Amino acid sequence: MNCALLGYGTVGSSVKKLADRQPGLDIRIVFVKPEFVDLPFFSNEGEAIVTDPDTEIVFECLAGVEPANTLIRKALEHGKHVISSNKAVLSANLPDYIELARKHGGSIQIEASVGGGIPLIDGILKLDRAEELKGFEGILNGTSNYILTSMEKFGTSFDDALKAAQAAGYAEADPANDIEGRDVWYKTLLVASLYTHSPVLTLPEPLGISKLSAEDIDIAKAHGKKIRHLSILKNESGSFSTLIAPVFLNENDYLASVDENFNAQKIYADSFGSLGYYGPGAGGDPTAQAMIADAINLLDGCRRPITLDRNAVYDPNLIQENWIVRTDRDLSSLPGVNTEFFDADNLYLFENRTPALIEEVRVADPQAMIAVWR
């Protein structure tokens, strides 16, 4: 099939390399911004490329919303198959893209946008055909996981670990998206859309890892725990809830064993209880491999359709957790507080609270470290 590639950064250049080895996929032209047009197969004529009658597949690996959104829409309006790794643009527009694909005969494929090289989206779409999936927990940001495990194993400072993740090509162009949880927010929104078959376009704000310090790593170790940044989803008969936050996990928890830039996820359903995925969630080649796998599905004539024809209701009460809060303010009047559990004046345990606790703590101290305690 004749293919066009949009973007030639970490993921785009890997897509070109892997596609060139793949019989049946022929990337003829690559869209890049004007300042980068320095190879014979580069062009900055994005619209002409994606509407060219010879183009059948468009691989979209641009960062951010524009020009990605305009080019994806043009491609879908011209009946192309669009394979995207761009969670920012997909999370804001997936329902529109699905409708455009349906109307004009193309498709939108999103495997690489969540979990990098892990076939998580395929798994969700496949399993969900048989029964309602009840829950999800996962590590979805390789950069955050890399930082947490570097701090935990080697005592690396937060800033040095972030620099190393950037050098390795895991981090977003703006790493604030990684450490403040925005990248996971995009991915969780896509997972929630698939789980609920609903056009989910917003979720509560995430808690990232930026407030965690060496002190928190020591607290975790002292209690036999490891900190991981998790996306949590509960889905029950037309209602759903999500939470994105650091979680102090028992050391023997499956997700606590996931190190470096790796991602892992657990899917919950009545028939199988839980099952897990594990693999590289960031980096050029793993993410590109997921995009090539989507293209091979097209070559094989095998696609898993995404349907968003329901309207699930967000119910914040579906999630209840215990929480650890580190702050210099006095939180002893907040509901659910246990002031005896930690032997330190600046640490609080809150028991069986919904994520509404986050806002209550932030009103008292916007800089507080807030995490789930399991």
DSSP state string for 240-275: EEEEEEEEEEETTSGGGG--TTEEEEEEEETTTEEE
Of 259 and 365, CB closest to ligand HSE: 259
Of 220 and 282, CB closest to ligand HSE: 282
Of 106 and 281, CB closest to ligand HSE: 281
Q: Please state the closest distance from residue 97 (CB atom) to ligand HSE, in A.
A: 19
Tell me the window of 96-104, 136-144, 155-163, 328-336 that interacts with ligand HSE (CB under 6 A). 136-144
Give φ, ψ of 142 to 5 degrees. -65, -35
For the chain, how long is the longest CA-to-CA vector? 69
Residue 185 touches ligand HSE, criterion: CB under 6 A: no
Phi-psi region of 24 (alpha: psi -120 to 50; beta: other; left: phi over 0): left
Of 190 and 312, CB closest to ligand HSE: 190
Residue 183 touches ligand HSE, criterion: CB under 6 A: yes
Residue 180 touches ligand HSE, criterion: CB under 6 A: no
Helix H segments across the chain?
Answer: 10-20, 46-51, 68-77, 87-104, 120-128, 142-154, 158-167, 176-179, 182-196, 214-222, 284-299, 356-364
Give dist(CA 327, CA 346) in Å, integer: 5
Contact 57, 4 (CB under 8 A): yes
Count the neighbouring beta carbons within 10 Å of the beta carbon of residue 364: 14
Of 49 and 61, CB closest to ligand HSE: 61
DSSP state string for 105-145: T-EEE-GGGSSTTS-HHHHHHHHHTTS---EEEEE--HHHH
What is the 8-class DSSP label of residue 212? -
Strands 239-250 and 26-31, by their bridges, are unpaired
Tell me the window of 171-179, 197-205, 326-334, 348-356 that interacts with ligand HSE (CB under 6 A). 171-179
Tell me the window of 118-126, 166-174, 192-200, 354-362 that interacts with ligand HSE (CB under 6 A). 166-174
Residue 162 touches ligand HSE, criterion: CB under 6 A: no
Omega cis (within 30) before 67? yes
Residue 60 touches ligand HSE, criterion: CB under 6 A: no
Member of 281, 289, 327, 342 binding ligand HSE (CB under 6 A): 281
Helix (H) or strand (E) holding 304: none
Q: Please state the closest distance from residue 118 (CB atom) to ligand HSE, in A.
A: 11
The amino acid at 349 = L
Token pair of 10 as six digits: 């970490």
Give dist(CA 274, CA 222) in Å, integer: 29
Of 11 and 325, CB closest to ligand HSE: 11
Of 171 and 219, CB closest to ligand HSE: 171
Contact 170, 143 (CB under 8 A): yes
Member of 89, 282, 325, 370 binding ligand HSE (CB under 6 A): 282
Give φ, ψ of 344 to 5 degrees. -155, 140
Q: Among 74, 187, 225, 226, which one carries the catalytic annotation?
A: 187
Give me the 93-132 binding string for ligand HSE, x by CB under 6 A, dash otherwise. Answer: -----------------------x----------------
Member of 158, 170, 195, 342 binding ligand HSE (CB under 6 A): 170
Member of 14, 107, 143, 196 binding ligand HSE (CB under 6 A): 143
Member of 52, 172, 180, 285 binding ligand HSE (CB under 6 A): 172
Q: Please state the closest distance from residue 249 (CB atom) to ligand HSE, in A.
A: 19
Tell me the window of 95-103, 167-175, 204-212, 344-352 that interacts with ligand HSE (CB under 6 A). 167-175
Q: Is residue 187 among the annotated active site residues?
A: yes
**Interface with ligand HSE by CB under 6 A: which residues?**
116, 141-143, 170-172, 178, 183, 281-282
Q: What amino acid positions are annotated as catalytic residues? A: 187
